Amino acid sequence: MKKFMDDDFLLDYESSRILYHEYAKEMPIYDYHCHLSPEEIAENKQFRNLTEIWLNGDHYKWRAMRANGISEDLITGNASDKEKFDAWAKTMPSCIGNPLYHWTHLELKRYFNIDLPLSEKTGDEIWESCNHLLQQKDFSAQSIIKKSNVHVICTTDDPADSLAYHKEIRANERIETAVLPAFRPDKGIEITQQGFLRYIEKLSKAANIEIKGYQDLLKAFENRVDYFDEAGCRVSDHGFDHLFYEEAALEEVSAIFDKAIQGQSITLSEENKYKTYTLLHLGKLYHSHGWAMQLHIGAIRNNNSKMFEKIGPDAGFDSMNDFELAKPLNQFLSRLDRENELPKTILYNLNPAHNPIIASAVGNFQNEEARGKLQFGTGWWFNDQKDGMIRQMTDLASIGLISNFVGMVTDSRSFLSYTRHEYFRRILCNLIGGWVHKGEAPDDYELLGQMVQDICYNNAKTYFEITR
């Protein structure tokens, strides 16, 4: 029987252990998609306690606590930070089998040197020990990033954002990590969502363009892409509950936009035409700037209407969607590729049933512009756990080239989430090591070690071409 989460955690074979300890372990981190706060990085936030850095905003933990019968007051309510932490400690033993159990204990080990399993019995000791360390300067936001050996961070930013904190970070020579914005224009694409008109006004002010019609909107997006590019942005990001594709002429889309501005209802077909034209236009913009485009597909959000009205979005009430993906995805990529304006693209799916669809679609549009120009993105959200990562990487390897994979992202709001890269790397090395153990890959560690290091860091560095 192995010791709980020892040095060879998740490494079942000698070949896996060699690949992880000698090749993967010390590689830097390239976190090209996350939700960290640039304000907290710029101001080098010092966290008051473990609840603030660990539980606030973490809807993964919130879901687990609700499933364990914890009162909402102890999750997102007015309970004290200590009471919320105690509720999390009480929940932790019930999380065995959930990735939260491994993530939690990796974070305790790597950042706080704590080997105790978290529970009601150990909660007070862990609370006091971690809070003592969090008051020290080497536990500030910037210090944690440096300690985690993170070379690049791409946050998630609205086109109307001033990027003031990113500029402040970039001007700070003490911050060695490149912290750059990522362009997330969802609010300007979701034409039927509540708040669309208010957002158009906000975007209009940011771009200094009066948006009276659809072509004004396109110019405003172009303005903000240029602005983000000057701030070092090299990647966009989009989130869709399903993928759409319905072509229309500019005149028709302009009329649809006019209807929305006038407060008229929009049909599903009109919505799809507006979204398709707008996303195609943005894709061309990204290509012209050399950006990569990320598409996160398949989250059906805010399903608990009562809780959405009470505490708002991003609170742990989202799930996987099911829909037709193959045809609209290939149509969208083909349209851009036909005009030689398809940007580097990373596709993430939330429903694992879509894995083979994504893996096969990306192979249709590869070319000499970039090695692995189209990417099947890492296991995302409900899939960024052991089984989900193995499924994603196995499907990618079976249908495409895993050697060109740009690897893991944290997709997190927590500064302690960088241990997820360790988790991913151990799983990656065990997958490849298993192939060696079974005689399905040669025991050539120069070859396989380079492949592992490329997936952990080098491929992303080449793919995104980001410099500080």
CA quadruple 453, 456, 457, 460: dihedral, nearest 10: 120
- Residue range 16-50, pLDDT digits in tens: 999 999 999 999 999 999 999 999 999 999 999 99
Backbone φ/ψ region at 343: left (φ over 0), alpha (ψ -120 to 50), beta: beta
What is the pLDDT averaged over residues 386-410?
A: 97
- Counting every residue written for the chain, the total comes to 468
Structure token digits, residue 458: 């080098």
- pLDDT band (50, 70, 90) for residue 313: confident
Contacts 24+ apart (CB under 8 A), 355-358: 355/391, 355/392, 355/395, 356/395, 356/399, 357/325, 357/326, 357/329, 358/325, 358/329
CB atoms within 10 A of CB 359: 20
Q: Is residue 467 predicted with pLDDT exceeding 90? A: no
Backbone φ/ψ region at 141: left (φ over 0), alpha (ψ -120 to 50), beta: alpha
pTM (predicted TM-score): 0.96
CB atoms within 10 A of CB 285: 22
- pLDDT band (50, 70, 90) for residue 314: confident
- pLDDT band (50, 70, 90) for residue 468: low
**In this structure, are residues 290 and 234 in contact, taking their beta carbons and an 8 Å threshold?**
yes
Q: Which residue has the higher pLDDT, 153 or 316?
A: 153
Backbone angles phi, psi at 345, to 5 degrees: -135, 135
Residue 178: in which H helix or E strand, if any?
strand 178-180
Q: Is residue 373 predicted with pLDDT exceeding 80? A: yes
Tell me how many degrees the CA angle 236-239-242 measures, rounded to the nearest 5. 135
Tell me how many degrees the CA angle 326-330-335 measures, rounded to the nearest 5. 155
- pLDDT band (50, 70, 90) for residue 196: very high
Residue 235: in which H helix or E strand, if any?
strand 235-240
- pLDDT band (50, 70, 90) for residue 315: confident
- Residue range 331-345, pLDDT digits in tens: 999 999 999 999 999
pLDDT at 169: 97
**In this structure, are residues 60 and 95 in contact, taking their beta carbons and an 8 Å threshold?**
no
